[in-house]
Structure 1
Amino acid sequence: MSFSLGLDTGGTYTDAVIFDNLQNSVAAKAKSLTTRHDLAVGIAGAAAKVLKNSGVTAGDISLVSISTTLATNALVEGQGGRTALVMIGFGEKDIERAGLKNALRDDPVIFLPGGHDTFGNAKPLDLSALETALDELADHVSAFAVAGYFAVRNPAHEIAVRELIHKRTKRPVTCSHELSSKLNGPKRALTTLLNARLIDMIARLINATKGFLDTQGITAPLMVVRGDGSLVSAQFALQRPIETILSGPAASIVGAHFLTDMDEAIIADIGGTTTDIAILDEGRPRIDDAGASVGGYRTMVEAVAMRTHGLGGDSEVKLDETALHATIQLGPRRLSPISLTAIAHPDIIMPVLKRQLNQLIPTRLDGRFAFVTGMPENMAAGLSKSQAALIARITEVPQPLDKLLKGTAELATLDALVSRGLVLIAGFTPSDAKHVCGAFTHWNSEAATLAAALFTRKRDGNGNPLCGTPEAFSQMVINRLIQQSANYILESVFYEDGLDGASIVKSPLIERALNRTPGIARMALFLDRPLIGLGASATAYYPAAADIVGLQCHVPVDADVANAIGAVVGQVRVQVSAEIVQNDNMQFAVTGTEIELSENLFTEEEDALSAAKTACERAASEKAERAGANNVTVAVKDDIRATVLDGQRHFVSASILATASGRPAS
Structure 2
Amino acid sequence: MASPLLLGIDTGGTYTDAVLFREEDGVVAKAKSLTTRHDLAEGIAGAVDSVLDRAAVAPSDIALISLSTTLATNALVEGQGGRAALVMIGFGPEDLLRGGLSEALAGDPVIFLRGGHDVHGNETPLDLAPLEEAMPELGGTVSSFAVAGYFAVRNPDHEIRVRNRIRALTHLPVTCSHELSSKLGGPRRALTTLLNARLVSIIDRLIGSCESFLARRQIAAPLMVVRGDGALISASEARLRPIETILSGPAASLVGARYLTGLDAAVVSDIGGTTTDVAVLEGGRPRLAEEGAVVGGYRTMVEAVALRTYGLGGDSEVHIDDRGLIVKLALGPRRLLPLSLIGSVHTEIVLDALERHLRAAHAGRHDGRFAIRTGLAEDAAQGLQPQEEALYERIGQQPAALNDLLTANAQKSTLDKLVARGLVHIAGITPSDALHVLGRQGQWNTEAARLGLTLAARKKDGAGRPIAASAEDLAQQILDRLTRQSAEAVLAACLAEDGVEGIDPAKSLAVDRALQRASGISRFSISLDRPLVGLGASAPVYYPAIAAMLGAESLVPEDADVANAVGAVVGQVRAVVTVTVTSTEGGRFMIAGAGESAMLAGEEQALDAARARARSQAAGRARIEGADEVVLMLSEEIDAPEVEGSRKLIEARIVATATGRPRIVQISS
Cα distance per residue 1:296-346 (max 9 Å; x no partner): 010000000010000000001111122331211111000111011011111
2:137 aligns with: 136
The one-letter code of the counterpart of 2:619 is: S
2:243 aligns with: 242
1:78 aligns with: 79
Separation in structure 1 between the aligned mates of residue 350 and residue 502 of structure 2, nearest angstrom: 41
Cα distance per residue 1:399-448 (max 9 Å; x no partner): 00000112111000000100010000011100000001111111111110
In structure 2, relative to structure 1, the CA distance for the partners of 1:143 and 1:316 (3 Å cut) is same
Query: Which stretches of structure 1, 4 residues or longer, exceed 6 Å deviation after superposition?
Result: none
Separation in structure 2 between the aligned mates of residue 170 and residue 505 of structure 1, nearest angstrom: 47
Q: How does 1:95-244 map to 2 (within 5 A)?
A: 95-244=96-245
Q: Aligned-pair distance for 1:217?
A: 1.3
Q: Aligned-pair distance for 1:596?
A: 5.6
The one-letter code of the counterpart of 1:639 is: E
The one-letter code of the counterpart of 2:640 is: A
Between 399-408 and 378-387, report the one with greater CA deviation: 378-387
1:657 aligns with: 655
1:402 aligns with: 403
Separation in structure 2 between the aligned mates of residue 186 and residue 462 of structure 1, nearest angstrom: 50
Separation in structure 2 between the aligned mates of residue 341 and residue 499 of structure 1, nearest angstrom: 43
Structure 2 residues not aligned, in runs of 5+:
665-669
Separation in structure 2 between the aligned mates of residue 286 and residue 529 of structure 1, nearest angstrom: 16
Separation in structure 1 between the aligned mates of residue 580 and residue 463 of structure 2, nearest angstrom: 64
Do 1:120 and 1:150's aligned partners in 2 also have CA atoms closer than 8 Å? yes
Separation in structure 1 between the aligned mates of residue 88 and residue 585 of structure 2, nearest angstrom: 28
Structure 1 residues not aligned, in runs of 5+:
none
1:608 aligns with: 606
Separation in structure 1 between the aligned mates of residue 505 and residue 485 of structure 2, nearest angstrom: 14
1:357 aligns with: 358
1:437 aligns with: 438
The one-letter code of the counterpart of 2:462 is: G
Q: Aligned-pair distance for 1:528?
A: 1.8
Between 601-610 and 325-334, report the one with greater CA deviation: 601-610
2:59 aligns with: 58
1:20 to 19, 22, 30: 22
Cα distance per residue 1:191-246 (max 9 Å; x no partner): 00010111111111111111111111111111000000000110111110000000
Q: How does 1:432-581 map to 2 (within 5 A)?
A: 432-500=433-501, 503-504=504-505, 506-581=507-582
Q: Aligned-pair distance for 1:143?
A: 0.5
Secondary structure in 2 aligned to 1:392?
A: helix
Separation in structure 2 between the aligned mates of residue 335 and residue 159 of structure 1, nearest angstrom: 41
Separation in structure 2 between the aligned mates of residue 222 and residue 502 of structure 1, nearest angstrom: 43
Q: Does 1:305 align with 2:303?
A: no
Do 1:495 and 1:501's aligned partners in 2 also have CA atoms closer than 8 Å? no
Do 2:529 and 2:552's aligned partners in 1 also have CA atoms closer than 8 Å? no
Do 1:596 and 1:615's aligned partners in 2 also have CA atoms closer than 8 Å? no
Q: Does 1:35 align with 2:33?
A: no
Separation in structure 1 between the aligned mates of residue 301 and residue 25 of structure 2, nearest angstrom: 34
Do 2:505 and 2:512's aligned partners in 1 also have CA atoms closer than 8 Å? no
The one-letter code of the counterpart of 2:615 is: E
Separation in structure 1 between the aligned mates of residue 394 and residue 293 of structure 2, nearest angstrom: 38
1:336 aligns with: 337
Separation in structure 1 between the aligned mates of residue 645 and residue 461 of structure 2, nearest angstrom: 73
Separation in structure 2 between the aligned mates of residue 566 and residue 136 of structure 1, nearest angstrom: 44
The one-letter code of the counterpart of 2:620 is: E
Separation in structure 2 between the aligned mates of residue 513 and residue 106 of structure 1, nearest angstrom: 43
Q: Aligned-pair distance for 1:505?
A: 5.2
Do 1:148 and 1:158's aligned partners in 2 also have CA atoms closer than 8 Å? yes
Separation in structure 1 between the aligned mates of residue 101 and residue 566 of structure 2, nearest angstrom: 35
Give the TM-score taking structure 1 as reference length: 0.98
Do 1:490 and 1:505's aligned partners in 2 also have CA atoms closer than 8 Å? no
Separation in structure 1 between the aligned mates of residue 464 and residue 385 of structure 2, nearest angstrom: 39
1:8 aligns with: 10
The one-letter code of the counterpart of 2:206 is: L
Q: Aligned-pair distance for 1:504?
A: 4.9
Do 1:11 and 1:273's aligned partners in 2 also have CA atoms closer than 8 Å? yes
In structure 2, relative to structure 1, the CA distance for the partners of 1:512 and 1:326 (3 Å cut) is closer
1:628 aligns with: 626
Cα distance per residue 1:533-592 (max 9 Å; x no partner): 000000111110010010001000100000000000000001111111111223111111
Identity %: 55
Separation in structure 1 between the aligned mates of residue 482 and residue 506 of structure 2, nearest angstrom: 16
In structure 2, relative to structure 1, the CA distance for the partners of 1:501 and 1:17 (3 Å cut) is farther
Secondary structure in 2 aligned to 1:503?
A: coil
The one-letter code of the counterpart of 1:2 is: P
Separation in structure 2 between the aligned mates of residue 361 and residue 377 of structure 1, nearest angstrom: 38
The one-letter code of the counterpart of 1:315 is: S
2:394 aligns with: 393
Separation in structure 2 between the aligned mates of residue 100 and residue 343 of structure 1, nearest angstrom: 41
The one-letter code of the counterpart of 1:60 is: D
Separation in structure 2 between the aligned mates of residue 458 and residue 523 of structure 1, nearest angstrom: 35
Secondary structure in 1 aligned to 2:616?
A: helix
Do 1:491 and 1:501's aligned partners in 2 also have CA atoms closer than 8 Å? no
Do 2:8 and 2:569's aligned partners in 1 also have CA atoms closer than 8 Å? yes
Separation in structure 2 between the aligned mates of residue 516 and residue 273 of structure 1, nearest angstrom: 29
Separation in structure 2 between the aligned mates of residue 651 and residue 580 of structure 1, nearest angstrom: 9
Do 2:276 and 2:313's aligned partners in 1 also have CA atoms closer than 8 Å? yes
Do 1:198 and 1:242's aligned partners in 2 also have CA atoms closer than 8 Å? yes
Between 532-541 and 316-325, report the one with greater CA deviation: 316-325
Aligned residues: 662
In structure 2, relative to structure 1, the CA distance for the partners of 1:397 and 1:17 (3 Å cut) is same
Do 1:578 and 1:595's aligned partners in 2 also have CA atoms closer than 8 Å? no
Separation in structure 1 between the aligned mates of residue 12 and residue 125 of structure 2, nearest angstrom: 46
The one-letter code of the counterpart of 2:306 is: A
Separation in structure 2 between the aligned mates of residue 2 and residue 253 of structure 1, nearest angstrom: 23
Separation in structure 2 between the aligned mates of residue 501 and residue 248 of structure 1, nearest angstrom: 29
Separation in structure 2 between the aligned mates of residue 587 and residue 125 of structure 1, nearest angstrom: 26
The one-letter code of the counterpart of 2:648 is: H
Separation in structure 1 between the aligned mates of residue 345 and residue 520 of structure 2, nearest angstrom: 54
